[in-house]
Amino acid sequence: MDILSKYLLEPVQYEFIQRALIASVTIGISCGLIGTYIMLRRMSLIGDALAHAVLPGVVVSFMVAGKSEAALFIGAVVSGILTVLLIGFVNRNSKIKEDTSIGIIFTGAFALGILLVSQLKQVHIDLSSYLFGDVLGVSTGDITLSMIIMFVIILCIVLFYKQLLLTSFDPTMAMTIGISTTLVHYMLMTLLSMSIVAGLQSVGVILIIAMLITPPATAYLLSSNLKKILLLSAMFGTISAITGLYLSYHFNFASGASIVLVAVVLFMLAFLFSPKEGVVTKLFRRRSASKFVLIEDVIKLSYRFKDEPGKTELVDKIANELGISNSRVEGVIKTLLGKDLMRRTNGSYVLTDEGIKYALRLVRTHRLWETYITNKNVVDIEHIHPEAEKLEHVLTEDMVDELDEELGFPEKDPHGSEIPRK
Amino acid sequence: MNVITVKNLTISYHKKPAIKGVNLNIAPGSVIGIIGPNGAGKSTLLKGMLGLLPFDTGEIKIFGDDINKSRKRISYIPQREQFDWDFPINVEDVVMMGRFAHLPIVGFPKAGDKKIVNQVLQKVEMDKYSKRQIRQLSGGQQQRVFLARALAQESDIYFLDEPFVGVDAKTERAIFGLMQELKNNGKTLLVVHHDLSMVKDYFDKLILINQTLIAYGDSEDVFTPELINKTYGGRLTMLQKTEELVS
């Protein structure tokens, strides 16, 4: 408890930490939401470009209006939109492809920003806080601005959810029903510039792209539902920003870098352990799938060798057929006994009624599948068997019935063996 | 009245004309196949009629007026390969897109829209899969979902781009059945088709195109060796194939 309060609660008494916390939540949400669309529309390059290209706008607003949040906001959004327009203009009016024109324009704009800063003797701009972020230096004005930005972003996503969805997934259909893809694009670009402005002070221009794409990518690995991805992405953005803030406070790390590293750690965890897509999860699933296949094979073979006199002969035959050790077969049989698919009888193992039903279903699937691939001329007859073997374990009962129907309820498989009916 | 009128339509890509001087008058209530070799401008004609491409010369009228006045009455089923199948969206949500045309700019689907979505999903026998992410469907099922989306739009003209490519027998029957049903309800269907088999069974009328319009008329009248030969530019293999088919 002491440690908890020392590390987590103690800092909150400071006003600058409170401001930093609010700023973290707002950039986590703003960037996480807009970033989801940036990721789905494969626009991360333009996201990075805009982040850099707002710099000259920020500097010019300083020269004109001093440190004013409103001016900063206008300067950044205007230079962001100008950059997008310029990239599009170069793109349309030359054979230069989009990625190249993005590269040219944004580095140019960024260089212009740096040049302006170096010439600004009379006004002091802390360039490094714009480049690398300083979440602990967030002012009340910054917070007001980023809160307004967050609400505008949430509002636009809620109101124009269907336009954003349709233009992201199927722009052609969007055009046929009269939704302007260009208008939606520029709306998104404006919101993107705004979310960059919100994150500027905390994360900095160089790393803010990470806040735009890493939390959405993490969420995308965990869900295939857009609304859930939006929520998860905002959540991961917020967690990263708050954790990064604490790291920055306790260890004096650059805040942008620590926020981004937390986001990347979250991404790696999802990448490895996501229930559906995780690399490690898939490894385990493959192992349990092969165990499942083994169980089904043992059931089928127990049925085929049901007339063997004793358990040693039965286990021997099965082990031989599958090319595995006797003890492994016995292990599987033990599982089957536990599931009441097999039972012990004087000196041997036999399938229970339930087990026989299971075995017949497997045989039916196997033979129907074989018939199907022969009919479709998929492979020639001598290669069929192993192929059918592989797939019979993944076919669902519905699919098997559909196969049966499509084949016209055949009685025999290509080898002439009878196909058990349901 | 004609559903679609195309006058002297020319569309170019990079200054090279893809279709030249096409004239068409399309009456309602028929299934029309657009036939021609690769690169003949079939999809260009389709997209031109949909108002998706700028054109050099010519005029297109839908229901006698500018296409922007009848956007709600037009649906388009694109080729399957153009989608990102990993997009986080399920079957039901794809079909709901068909209702977007009828919703106000800021407006959410209502109970009535959901009912229509369920009905069309049942019609294409995909209601069982309404919550599935679209990657987890077979090619035929994917095609049926996009068919359902077009049906949910309740339009009067349907543009289909190669709907029969890579689908199973069940889906092929489903598409064919729906085309007939829509036609009988007075709808107009334009279907880009690259294969010459089944042409006479599928389509009442044919548009034969190879940059210029070769022929337009009832399938019976225009699906002749001479005209097909002319459309396909006398390619030998094609010629042999078609002669087999027409004889």
Averaged pLDDT for residues A118-127: 69
Whether residue A403 is predicted with pLDDT greater than 80 in this model: the reply is: no
Per the CB < 8 Å rule, is B52 touching A176?
A: yes
Residue B214 φ then ψ, to 5° = -85, -45
What average pLDDT does range B199-222 have in this prediction? Answer: 89
| Interchain CB distance below 8 Å, A170 and B68 | no
Q: Compare A403 and A89 and report the one with higher pLDDT.
A: A89
Contact A170 B170 (CB under 8 A): no
* pTM of the predicted protein model: 0.80
How close, in Å, is residue B16 to chain A by CA atoms?
16
Residues of B in contact with A218 (CB under 8 A): none
**Identity of the amino acid at A374:** T
**Measured CA angle at A339 (ends A337, A340), to 5 deg:** 65
Please give the pLDDT value at position A91.
86
**Closest chain B residue by Cα to residue A222:** B88
Q: How high does pLDDT run on average in chain A?
A: 86
Give the mean pLDDT of A65-86.
88
Task: Name the interface residues of B facing A (CB cutoff 8 Å).
Answer: 50-52, 68, 71-72, 74-76, 78, 82-84, 86-90, 93-94, 97, 100-101, 103, 105-106, 108, 133, 135, 153, 169-170
Q: What is the pLDDT of residue B236?
A: 44
Contact B84 A169 (CB under 8 A): yes
pLDDT in tens, B164-191: 887 888 888 888 999 999 999 999 999 9
Nearest CA in chain A to B150: A173
Per the model's pLDDT, the better-predicted residue between A167 and A68 turns out to be A167
Asked if pLDDT for residue A122 goes beyond 50, the answer is yes
Which among A159, A173, A229 is the nearest to B97, CB-wise?
A: A173
Q: Please answer whether residues A61 and A68 qualify as being in contact, where contact means their C-beta atoms are separated by less than 8 angstroms.
A: yes
How many CA atoms lie less than 13 Å away from A204 in the CB half-sphere? 21
Strand pairing category for B31-35 and B188-193:
parallel
Q: What is the pLDDT of residues A140-162, one digit of tens each?
A: 888 999 999 999 999 999 999 99
Q: Specify the DSSP element, H or E, that contains B76.
A: strand B74-77
Question: Is the predicted pLDDT of residue B245 greater than 60, yes or no?
Answer: no
pLDDT tens digits for range B199-208 = 888 899 999 9
Q: Burial-class residue B59 by CB neighbours within 10 Å (0-12, 13-18, 19+).
A: exposed
Q: Which residues contact A317 (CB under 8 A, 6 or more apart)?
A: A301, A305, A308
A-chain residues near B106 (CB < 8 A): 159-160
Q: Which residues of B touch A224 (CB under 8 A)?
A: 86, 88-90, 133, 135
- The pLDDT > 70 percentage for chain B reads 94
- Taking CB atoms and an 8 Å cutoff, what residues of chain B touch A222? none
Helix B111-123 to helix B139-152 angle, to the nearest 10 degrees? Answer: 140
pLDDT, tens digit (0-9, with 9 covering 90-100), for A169-192? 999 999 999 999 999 999 999 999
Q: What is the mean pLDDT of chain B?
A: 87
Q: Which residues of B touch A226 (CB under 8 A)?
A: 88-89, 93
Report the residue of chain B nearest A219, measured CA to CA.
B88
Token couple for B120: 């069309």
pLDDT score of B2 more than 90 = no
Evaluate if residue A31 carries a pLDDT over 80.
yes
Residue A228 has pLDDT above 90, yes or no: yes
Chain B positions touching A159 (Cβ under 8 A) are 106
**φ, ψ dihedrals at A94, nearest 5°:** -155, 175
**Residue numbers in B near A173 (CB within 8 A):** 76, 78, 97
- Which string of b and e fits B103-141 if b means at least 16 CB within 10 Å? eeeeeebeeebeebbeebbebbebbebbebbbeebeebb
CB atoms A177 and B88 under 8 Å: no
- CA-nearest of A401, A399, A421 to A411 is A421
The single-letter code of the amino acid at A115 is L
Q: What would the pLDDT profile of A300-339 be if each residue is shown by its tens digit? A: 888 888 887 788 888 888 888 888 888 888 888 888 888 8
Q: Which has the higher per-residue pLDDT, A375 or A172? A: A172
Residue in A166, A177, A221 to test binding to B, most B beta-carbons within 10 Å: A177
Distance of alpha carbon A173 from alpha carbon A180, whole angstroms:
11
More confident residue, A32 or A281: A32
Between chain A and chain B, the number of residue pairs with CB atoms below 8 A apart is 69
